Structure 1
Amino acid sequence: MACTEARLSRFKNKFRDPAKLREKRIAMCVKLRKDQKNEHIMKRRKITLSSLPDEEISCASIEDIVRDVNSDCILLQIRGCQAARKLLSVERDSSINEIIIAGLLSRFVAFLSMEDEPTLQFEAAWALTNVTSGTSWHTKQVVDHGAVPAFIALLSSPMLHISEQAVWAIGNIAGDGPVYRDVLIACNAVPALLACISPDTPLGFLHNLAWTLSNLCRSKDPYLPGSVVQQMLPSLIMFLHLSDKNILSEACWAFSYLSDGENDRIEVVVRTGIIPRLIELLNHEDTYCTLSIVAPALRTVGNIVSGSDAQTQVVIDAGFLEVLPKLLRHSKSSVQKEAAWALSNIAAGPSKQIQQLINCGLFAPLVELLRSGDFKSQREAVWAVMNITIGGTVDQMIFLVRTGALEAIVHLLQVRDAKVVMVILDTINNLAAEKSGETEGLCRLIEELGGFAHIEMLQNHENVSVCKAASHLLDKCTEVSLISLRPLTNPNYIFLVASEHNSSFQTLNSDL
């Protein structure tokens, strides 16, 4: 079947060229592509600097702001910039537009270079930072007015609050995308940012630096240049070993971006030696309930196990499989989904790594997700089962069925998602393949579970590929004249037959 062949071309299995399979593995990952805005925001408007106390916000009119900013009096200029940044802190994009239309950006940028007036520098920098928190067009206006070199120069200011404000502005600009990220890199922003990191840097300031570096790592079209990654890695590794949860979160997000790509990018992260630390964070009781750390740490690990067999094994050897059952049963469905995705990546590997999944008892929580998880988690779990039937041995597939996976996916044939239904049909087809020697027993079990009733209905599905796949599967079972036979009275038939013809299955069970 053409549809099945197209799908199999995206997966790894022992019947295909091993040299090319792993390269395609990244394509089969059903990743969580939506940005988790509640945990990690690219831009920030309401700013609280670690070096300044909170203050009351009261807004002046735009007319008063324009008059004061354009005056020749330093005190009025300070008052105007302060009023502008307060207005921009509480109002929406319309206020940013008013500031831009009034021509105030050029004045703000000019104020950034007035080293003898640090208060004016700071207020102007804050106002510009709030402008960069708006749309891409707003950020463009700030960049086009020459603010980037001025902000980079402010990173070396002896005034901590001014330097920190510049960090925040650069973080907002970096978060806008690869174009302005590359502008920052061309202006040598990265060395200037890294120079701000020292043993004496306050934790709040370090958090802002970590967030900015993470934003620089975020965009991948194109990816961050390798030379820049190498510059940033020592600081990111250092951040990952601190105890502050905010800094840990930003560091984990940075590594999740850096590991999202081809095997050579993954290898750069693997060689840092951070994998044991990531597993530690996933397993630590304090961070287990901290979604802002668990989510990016798990995403990073999931990216790595989408790489080569060797890269996947490094993660396994670091103890990830011992932590994975807890993550599959996490209270947050988003974590369950990420964990199932990571498991599916490992399941796409060789039978040796699939056996390690079995040895760590991961089939049971996987089946739990298939039965009672939210649909997104179920979808990832279905892909994991599919991968096991592609690369697993006959014994491993039999054990998969024994844990209840077949029953669970048969019930999921009723979902409306055509892609999920196709994966399930292909999975059943793999289980019933001649190589297993269990076509008869499996078809009997499917009939006992009521699966053929669902498959027959799928012949009328609105999706043509689903119709063809359902018909093909029914034809296969009809060829062995099983559909019309009496119901299976012994659900363990398939396992009894397997044990008679394959003594290694007994060894497999005893090992478990």
Structure 2
Amino acid sequence: MSFFEKKLKNRKQKFKQKASPKNSRSRRAEYTVKISKSKRELNLMKRRNITITNNSNNSQNEIYIPPLEELPKLVNGIKNSKDIDKIEECTQMIRRMLSIEGDPPIDEIIKTDVIPYFVEFLKDSNNIFLQFESAWILSNICTGSSEQTTYVVNLDVIPIFLELLDSESLDVIEQSIWALGNISGDKLEFRDKILSYPKSFKKILDVYHNKNLNQSILKNTTWAVSSMCRGMPFPDYEKVKNAYKYFGYLCKETTTDLIVDACWGLSYLSSGNSEQIDDLIATECLPRLVELLGHSSPRVLIPAIRAVGNVVTGNYQQTQSALECDLLERLQPLFSHKRDQIKKEACWVLSNITAGTTEQIEKVLQSGFIPIIYNLIEETKIYVIQKEAIWTLSNAVWGGSIQVVINLVESGICKAFVPWLQRKKENSILKISLESYAKILSVGEKIAENEGLQNNLYAQKLEKLGVFEYIENLANHESNIIKQLVEYILKNYFDKFQNQVNENENNSTNQDENGNTDYEF
């Protein structure tokens, strides 16, 4: 048995195996890395607390924000004044300077060396006002660049903020959790630094148990906890997995911001191995996540799709759990969504379902998805959408029964891979296109054998589409894998097909009344 024959025989088993989470998810690892590094997602990781201002010049409620020219005077008031009222006032004014839309003067304030004073103010439990204002200042500085955040972290503020989660002031608790969220969102090193403190994550989760917890703190806590579960490499799962029950509960809320952050959290936690997917399913929130695929806001849709998508990258039983929540019914409208990102992620989910069992693939076909995928490939110009759509079809070919392949061929699947044979630089898609044709041709051989046919009818179809010619043009491809695929197909199917055609030409004596030969394939 040749190298490629062995490869063909084992391809399906290696794609999605019940007992091997590593194998079952390896094909989609590249996609998971890419979405974890999404610019839009990273932008969600830091939040500045903005001072609400009234722009009316006649309003008595207008909040005064000092100009940058006043900064030296304010810093002097903090460093040199003995009057606590003066210190409080100057601290509040600097906080307002940092709490504006646009480009706050973070670097200018850092250069005054006043930041260590705010760190000291955090430790003064007798002055809640200064604690609150200082926490707000430090939190907003941590919305800046990584260098600015690092400056704050190097002042050893993390354990102080963790201690402040026990404060009697809800405002101090909120600003502390806000600061920890911003620090965690800056880089994975800081995320892991926060989690390295004993029982730090438990202390953060304990905020949820506060009897007086209001909606604002609830939202900020959910966002911060979600931030601490994000990133690749993943955080220590044993340290963060208890967040599941809170995310599972909060995704059932009606407030959009809460749903968004809870869904992001669920998507992060389930991006690991099969055990982590089982833990998501155990929260009993999977039906809610599937339901959220019908939400009107893309802010909800994207993390909900990713969380559900993680489930179907798992083993067959985990995929089935999602299908039993009417996933296919909820998924179908997303293929006509106005946002390309939604279409792409819907394809990603479907491609993992067609990597499942024959029964799961048949369910996809019965739900009418194949014509939708064909239309998507033809109509969209977005490469990543086309790529996921092609994976969907390829997985269906490879995982489906003979009857599934027959149905796919009858529906026109042979045309879908043709354009990709002409894109010689797209090795991954070129490879699965060739593999799909090899599987289709092998089914054609079985049909011919079972029905006593002289010709492989699927080889005939591919010949009419010019597929063999395109494949021949790949014979000298730079990739050894592609060359082996080409050699296998040409040797086992094209040469045999040509021999059959030549034999028919030589043996045929059937002519019409005009003397034309009637070839039978």
Q: TM-score range by the shorter chain?
A: 0.7 to 0.9
Once the two structures are superposed, the pairs formed by residues 113-512 of structure 1 within 5 Å of their partners are 113-185=123-195, 186-197=197-208, 198=210, 200-230=212-242, 232-283=243-294, 287=295, 289-373=296-380, 374-415=382-423, 416-433=425-442, 436-437=446-447, 440-459=456-475, 461=477, 463=479, 465-482=481-498, 485=501
Which stretch shifts more, 145-154 or 422-431?
145-154
Mapped partners of 2:199, 2:89: distance in 1: 32
Structure 1 residue aligned with 2:57? none
Query: What secondary structure is seen at the aligned counterpart in 2 of 1:47?
Result: coil
Distance 1:84 1:260, change over 3 A: same
> How high is the TM-score relative to the length of structure 2?
0.82
> Which of 38, 41, 50 is residue 40 of structure 2 equivalent to?
38
Q: CA RMSD in A?
A: 3.2
How far off its partner does 1:388 sit? Answer: 1.9
Which segments of structure 1 move beyond 6 Å, counting only runs of 4 or more? 3-9, 91-94
Asked whether the equivalents of residues 59 and 86 of structure 1 are also in contact (C-alpha less than 8 Å), the reply is: no
Structure 1: any 5+ residue segments left out of the alignment? 487-512
Distance 1:160 1:442, change over 3 A: same
Whichever of the two has the greater Rg, that structure is 2
Distance 1:399 1:91, change over 3 A: same
Mapped partners of 1:409, 1:297: distance in 2: 30
Asked whether the equivalents of residues 234 and 272 of structure 2 are also in contact (C-alpha less than 8 Å), the reply is: no
Aligned residues: 478
Distance 1:91 1:321, change over 3 A: closer
How far off its partner does 1:55 sit? Answer: 4.6
Query: What secondary structure is seen at the aligned counterpart in 2 of 1:157?
Result: coil
How far off its partner does 1:187 sit? Answer: 4.9
How far off its partner does 1:6 sit? Answer: 6.6
Query: What secondary structure is seen at the aligned counterpart in 2 of 1:480?
Result: helix
> How high is the TM-score relative to the length of structure 1?
0.83
**In the alignment, residue 131 of structure 1 is paired with which amino acid?**
I
**In the alignment, residue 258 of structure 1 is paired with which amino acid?**
L
Mapped partners of 1:31, 1:365: distance in 2: 22
How far off its partner does 1:407 sit? Answer: 0.8
How far off its partner does 1:383 sit? Answer: 1.5
Q: Deviations over 1:110-133 (max 9, x none)?
A: 011223333322221111112222
How far off its partner does 1:58 sit? Answer: 4.0
Asked whether the equivalents of residues 82 and 123 of structure 1 are also in contact (C-alpha less than 8 Å), the reply is: yes
**In the alignment, residue 393 of structure 1 is paired with which amino acid?**
S
Structure 2: any 5+ residue segments left out of the alignment? 55-60, 449-454, 503-521
Structure 2 residue aligned with 1:26? 25
Mapped partners of 1:143, 1:63: distance in 2: 24
Distance 1:471 1:3, change over 3 A: closer
* % identity of equivalent residues: 28
Mapped partners of 1:105, 1:216: distance in 2: 25
Mapped partners of 2:131, 2:151: distance in 1: 19
Structure 2 residue aligned with 1:503? none
How far off its partner does 1:380 sit? Answer: 0.9
Q: Tell me which of the two structures has the higher relative contact order, counting C-alpha pairs closer than 8 angstroms and 6 or more residues apart.
A: 1
How far off its partner does 1:436 sit? Answer: 4.1
Mapped partners of 2:73, 2:199: distance in 1: 37
Mapped partners of 1:337, 1:25: distance in 2: 21
